[in-house]
Structure 1
Amino acid sequence: MPITHARSGSTPATPLYYNNRGNSLIDKNDYERAIADYDQAIKLDPKFALAYFNRGTAYRNHGEDERGLADFDLSIKFDPTYGPAYGNRARLYRDRGDRVRALADFAKSLQLSPNNDRDFYARANMYFDAHDHALALEDYDRSIKANASYPGAFNSRCMTRAILGRLQEALADCDQSLKMAPNDPYTLDSRALTYLKLGNLDAAIADYDAALSTKPAYDSSLYGRGLAKRKKGDNEGAERDIAAAKAINAGIVDEFAHYGVE
């Protein structure tokens, strides 16, 4: 059965009815009853691809990754044209450390659903974590083009542009993100890094201070503020912040080296 969306007039005792009721129960965080409804939908129609997808998504969201993977496999088997099934399977492969399969599934998902901003964003994050910043930037661009309402995408693009040295563009992205989500510590940290690379140390410290006011143990902001303080000649304050950051994250020095800041 090809994947379909809900239709008006669905009646009880049909696979679609149970699938749709399962979705409404998931929205109410009633996981067990939702799973029971997806089970019933699949019992009535063992080739109902959408029910496998929805049950697999529910399993994944509740930490039952093996069951989720099995359901995504079946969803794709019964309807290989539904992009989100590949995207959710890609997330499971990513979480298992299977980068090759994850990227292959994201590519297939985006081939089938070229305006899926969430899959562009998720793949961009994979590239970013692997320090493939140019590829990450391309996918952040695509994610924002598909959906310009998510502040996290602007923040991530800000950080990526800052790392690549596109500093004025990075500031514009961080400013946009903060307009949408004021006082977000992650975006303040990204903008602070941008100011640090620009040499605007007072602005960098102000943003790091603001980030740490809501997230006091934020290793990135502690280390970045330490570097800014060192550049301003506050060696005592610098060493205090840098030591605190290293105590939280022993790899923080290497992370900042990838950002082009030491």
Structure 2
Amino acid sequence: MPVEARYALLYSDYEVTPCLRIPFEKFAFLILTLPLCAFIFCIIYSVLFHFESATSTHCHVYNVLPSISAAIGNFSPQREVWQTAIMLQSVPRFYIAVIYLQFHHAMAYPRDAWMGNFAFLLNVTENISLIILSFWTSSRHYTVHEKAFITFILMSEFHMLLTCIMQSRFKRHNRRSLKWKRRLFLTNVSCIILGAYCYMRHNSLCEPYMYSLFAFAEYVVVLTNMAFHTTAYFDFENKDFVLYKYGAAITER
């Protein structure tokens, strides 16, 4: 089966002239750059211009870093910058989720096909929950934001774990991709545990800088999540992302 058919998404056989062709590594980099630049901007801007409000907690102890929820959702223009980046990267991520579904079906043994379907469901749910927690901010819709954040964490962890397990069982797997996926997953899980510990200790003991450690652990969780998705660079290296009139595909270069 040709690669165009194997990793194609919603384009007509009668319309094969590409509207856009871009190396997949550049496409993956562009998708990562949107939320990454927005994330860095929100943290730096919050520290520079909303330091007291962004780092304040019920304990009233000194901290140097804002939580992600405070940095991206409580102030303007950070909120608008983050929401714009998330919306711009959401559609490409849904495209890539479908392409990964086809990729996993092509690479996995038939008995492992259910893993590809489940990973696709987790990936889509993760993306939807990210959109919800970004637009229903903690300062305005705390209950919705909290549930969306918990869903995002759970779905992303299960998606990373299942992807690592599935790709290790491929007929032939990309060793470099799997190596980085495992490293990023383990770092992500470790920082979730560290963040939870720091948050509980902050709430119970109200120690200076403990909330900042929690915030730093949050940052690493978000950055490793972004990096995990960017390992698609290795899975589809030497391929192009091609946009057609009625859809898109991953093709051989």
Normalised by the size of structure 2, how large is the TM-score? 0.30
- Highest RCO, 1 vs 2 (Cα 8 Å, sep ≥ 6): 2
Greater fraction strand = 2
TM-score by length of 1: 0.29
Task: Say which structure is richer in helix.
Answer: 1
